[in-house]
Amino acid sequence: MAYNLKTRIWQTGALEWWGRLDGEEIYLGSREFPLPPEEGDRWVVRATGETFCIMNGTIRRISDLARAEEEQ
């Protein structure tokens, strides 16, 4: 586990961070990605406008969390 995260993450040669969320490869940003990533961190990816956070050691997309809350 990199950085004690449950989410698999990697950095490309172009210094971009990617992760596997729900079986899908997702762009997590470049300079905006928090280093080291820690519980409670939250960031917005400039290129896509997506917001992510770290909860319980897992990187989560904020829009996915909001959708899950609405369904309950």
Q: 33 vs 29, 45, 60, 68, CA distance in Å?
A: 5, 8, 13, 24
Domains of the chain: total? 1
Write the DSSP symbol of residue 49.
-
- Whether a cis peptide bond, with omega within 30° of 0, leads into 36 is yes
Alpha carbon distance 53, 61 (integer Å)? 7
**For residue 52, what are the domain limits?**
2-71
Phi, psi of 56 (to 5 degrees): 55, 35
Per-residue confidence band for 63, with pLDDT thresholds at 50, 70 and 90:
confident
Lowest mean pLDDT among 2-6, 7-11, 37-41, 58-62: 2-6
Per-residue confidence band for 66, with pLDDT thresholds at 50, 70 and 90:
low
Phi, psi of 6 (to 5 degrees): -80, -25
The answer to whether residue 46 scores a pLDDT higher than 80 is yes
